[in-house]
A and B are shown apart, each in its own frame.
Chain A
Amino acid sequence: MTRVTVDIDLNRVEGDLEFQLDLEDGVVVDARCVGTLYRGFEQIMIGRAPRDSLVITPRVCGICGTAHLYAATLALEQIAHITPPAHAVLVRNLCLMAETLQSDLRQSFLFFTPDFCNPLYAGHPLAAELAEAFAPLKGSVVRGCLKSTRELIGIVAIFGGQWPHSTYMLPGGITQPANARRLIDTRDILASVRAWFEQAVIGGDLDEWLALDSAEGLFRWLAASPARQRSALGLFNRFGRDIGLHKLGAGTGHLLSYGVNHRPDGAGSELPAGFFNADTQQVEPLDHLQINEHVRHSWFLDYPGGRHPWAGETIPDHQPGSDRYTWAKAPRYGDKVVQTGPLAELRIAGEPLITDLLASEGDNTWLRQFARLRRAGWLLNATVNTKKQLKMKCDEPHFIDPKIDVWPDGESVGLVEAARGGLGHWLRIKDGLIDKYQIVTPTAWNASPRDSAGRHGHWEQSIIGLTVPDPENPVEIGHIVRSHDPCLVCTVHFIGSHKKTHFNV
């Protein structure tokens, strides 16, 4: 038996991702997900005016800046007991959904499916079809995706001025109202993206596809027409299952979602927040006080167990060569390792098809990626519905001045569902200024290292046990890791101590 350790770096994720794998006779016996970048946002935030978080924190992430802006706004509104008008909530939701949808489509066809064109698969019967559809920057689906996502993200620019990195949400509402011109532009964009999605991605009618409620029904529907077989989804299904992606890369079964589409009246969200406990197979209500972060295997000064973000402590302690291996912390829900993202979102909401697939095949690489396309379809309808509701609210205020001269001292949290899953901003204000700001990103959950009890993070779990025939071309790892939709730039923590503090991957 030979044991070797290999370092693997992966692109076509957001940011830099490295894994250290221990292989015994080609089988992964241990995996360490390594965070390689520290950006120091937390120290930059301390002592700043509270509203500056609306400008600074979207810059944590170029791909989900709208989600960060939304979370930062909610944290400020909670601390000062501000209720935004319905008009503003609908615009915020519409923009966040547009951002999530562009991310799902770009992740699928710019990051995930290029692996189907790997030289390893050159002899596969579908190779020519795959190349025609998915060749990087050239394939027909890729070109369509570039065009459609460019149009789609224009919705954020219509309401917020630009994407990435605008600051059009603020405590009390939004900077600019919806009106007939903006809504007609939005409708036109959504119609055009839907037409492309139906033609190129699913090869059929969207509503018909969304109505499918069982695995069997899905496979039957896909097989029933050549257009569906040839579509991106058809190819993903035929090829992905042929190479066994549905049997590959199971991680943790526990799922976490903060809920999609906050209702304008403040009563929950359209897709509910919750925690799916894999041990009991039950969805439990979300309780953010269950969230805690560990540092036992991270390059931080140790503390026992985990700490809630409001009580977190993060003092860098770089120890190369020890059993610590990353600048990322390990968030846990209670003592549970969780995954977050579209699969969690849809399962917690009880979406029938995803629920059936998860029950019959368990967590796997194919399902995580399929859930992303499924959510994209759901979002295409949800955006249209939100736009319709917005049309009824155009004459109502888009902003109510909260008239705050000095921000109240206190602690608060803003939770939203970003493209990659649950995103939380924890804020503390003291003497009218930011005293502490901590972010736990979706990828922080998914990419977490081991915790103080030695439990591996979700990605690590999904790779341990895998056979890697060729560490020089670890295409299996590419499939698994990219199905998690990694965003490493975003996995940043903020901490409120005045010490040299916290690192990110």
Chain B
Amino acid sequence: MPNIVWMQAGACSGESMALLCADRPSLENLLQQYDLNLLWHPSLTADARFGQVLEAITSGRQKLDILCIEGSLMTGPDGSGQYDTWKGRAKIDIVRELAPLATHVVAMGTCAAFGGVHAAGPNPTDCTGLQFLKDQPGGLLGADWRARSGQPVINVAGCPAHPNTMTKVLAMLAEGEMLQLDTLNRPAAFFASLVHQGCTRNEYHEYDIEDEVLGGRGCMFFSLGCRGPQTLAPCNTELWNGHSSKTRAGVPCFGCTSPDFPSNRDLFVTPKIGAVPKFLPLGVARAKYMAYKNLARAAAPERVINREMEP
């Protein structure tokens, strides 16, 4: 029966709450169907105190199959880790002690993966992710660190991480699968689609019908800061809470699965060169994109120009 420990560091509980929203599989079904034993979760377990769980694992009496970390790793002030403690002990020291004992270590959310919202300028807590600080390899454990499985920390990025991505990753690990990871150590099975794919505003993007003001039906990429065409995440290929996604609801994608989330610029404004976004859809050449957009606009049907189409 594989054991899971879920530990919170500098966190808002967003991943813990998202975990309760997972529906395929749900948390309770995951634990039951995959015979997983949740030894510790700060919000959910009642059998043992954290100190008892910690002692059982570090003494070798209890094996640790999957260690999930939620939240940024606070190293400040002055490397002491005293900005985030458990009974006076720095959480980063506890993570450093537990991680080598785990078969798999999973960073649940962008904070644990890359530093996240707490690492936004000026990074007042000197926080970091487990193996990255933003897109720079290193982090708390170092770029070369490997879990007992031989894999680095698996980065289930997102702010918060997508509910079903978390439970599916745990299901795959429980079944003994070796996960394929991308260059940022995110599981490829969930990070090989763009937020743009499946966005219900795609037709507006296709014909270059762009909104200048929030609250409309058009595409938000050119002016409103949407990063859907650049952001790898499952949001529009597996909907949130069984219903929708931010871009479908008219909220720009802020790129929360990316290492630089949240960016330091105005989050609701797209930086441009001339009339065209400075940052183009992933991998696209500027000259060809401009040519395509000019043609696309010319081909736009009235129903799209008039924003008759409901996202």
Residues of chain A at the chain B interface (Cβ within 8 Å): 7, 9, 11-16, 18, 36-41, 43-44, 48-49, 51-52, 55-56, 59-63, 65, 106, 110-111, 114-115, 117-118, 136-137, 143, 146-147, 149-150, 153-154, 156-168, 170, 172-176, 179, 185, 318, 398-399, 401, 489-490, 500-501, 503
Contacts and interface: CB of A to CB of B under 8 A. Distances in A.
Contacts of B17: 62-63, 163-164
A11 B42 contact: yes
Contacts of A179: 310
B299 interface: no
B176 interface: no
A166 B251 contact: yes
Given A136-B46, A143-B28, A173-B215, A37 B268 contact: no
A154 B18 CA distance: 12
Contacts of B77: 318
Contact of A162 (B10, B72, B235): B235
Contacts of B84: 36-38
A146 B27 contact: yes
Contacts, number: 218
B18 A157 contact: no
B31 interface: yes
Given A49-B268, A159-B249, 13 more contacts: A9-B87, A11-B43, A16-B8, A40-B83, A59-B159, A136-B47, A154-B243, A161-B247, A163-B21, A165-B14, A172-B215, A401-B213, A500-B124
A316 B7 CA distance: 27
A55 B263 CA distance: 11
24 contacts: A11-B42, A11-B43, A15-B11, A16-B86, A18-B87, A37-B10, A37-B85, A38-B84, A41-B117, A44-B121, A49-B266, A59-B117, A62-B11, A63-B13, A114-B46, A136-B44, A154-B241, A157-B242, A160-B246, A160-B249, A162-B244, A165-B159, A165-B160, A399-B215
A149 B13 contact: no
Given A37-B10, A146-B28, A157-B244, A176 B250 contact: yes
A154 B249 contact: no
Give me the 6 closest cross-chain CB pairs, A-B, nearest first. A40-B124, A62-B14, A399-B215, A175-B250, A161-B249, A162-B240
Contacts of A146: 20, 26-28
Interface residues of B, number: 74
A62 B160 contact: yes
A149 B18 CA distance: 12
Contacts of A176: 215, 249-250, 311
Contacts of A114: 46
A8 to B, nearest CB: 10
A17 to B, nearest CB: 10
A214 B10 CA distance: 44
Interface string B252-270: 1010100000100011110
B203 interface: no
A13 B50 CA distance: 13
A137 B125 contact: no
Given A52-B267, A110-B43, A165-B14, A156 B241 contact: yes
Nearest to A113: B46
A59 B44 contact: no
B165 interface: no
B127 to A, nearest CB: 8
B251 A149 contact: no
Given A9-B50, A161-B246, A153 B21 contact: yes
A448 B124 CA distance: 23
A157 B163 CA distance: 13
Contacts of A174: 215
Contact of B12 (A62, A149, A154, A157): A62
B214 interface: yes
Which one of A12, A56, A157 has the highest number of Cβ atoms from chain B below 10 Å of its Cβ?
Answer: A157
A258 B235 CA distance: 35
Which one of A11, A65, A162 has the highest number of Cβ atoms from chain B below 10 Å of its Cβ?
Answer: A162
A501 B15 CA distance: 27
Contacts of B249: 157, 159-162, 166, 168, 175-176
B250 A60 contact: no
A501 to B, nearest CB: 8
Contacts of A9: 49-51, 86-87
A36 B85 contact: yes
A274 to B, nearest CB: 30
B241 A162 contact: yes
Nearest to A18: B87
A54 to B, nearest CB: 8
Given A51-B268, A62-B14, A399 B251 contact: no
B241 A136 contact: no
Contact of B266 (A52, A62, A136, A157): A52
B267 A49 contact: yes
B45 interface: yes
A221 B31 CA distance: 38
A91 to B, nearest CB: 11
B201 to A, nearest CB: 11
Which one of A12, A51, A167 has the highest number of Cβ atoms from chain B below 10 Å of its Cβ?
Answer: A167
Interface string B17-53: 1101101001110010000001001111111011100
B8 A55 contact: no
Contacts of B20: 106, 110, 146, 149-150
B250 A38 contact: no
A64 to B, nearest CB: 10
Nearest to B80: A318
Nearest to B124: A40
B74 interface: yes
Interface string B65-84: 00000001010010000111
Contact of A157 (B28, B72, B243, B311): B243
Contact of A154 (B87, B117, B242, B311): B242
A21 to B, nearest CB: 14
B120 interface: yes
Nearest to A158: B243
B46 A51 contact: no
Nearest to A181: B310
B21 A39 contact: no
A16 B28 CA distance: 24
Contacts of B28: 137, 143, 146
A40 B125 contact: yes
A431 B82 CA distance: 35
Nearest to A134: B46
A37 B12 contact: no
Contacts of B246: 160-162, 166-168
Contacts of A185: 243
A472 to B, nearest CB: 9
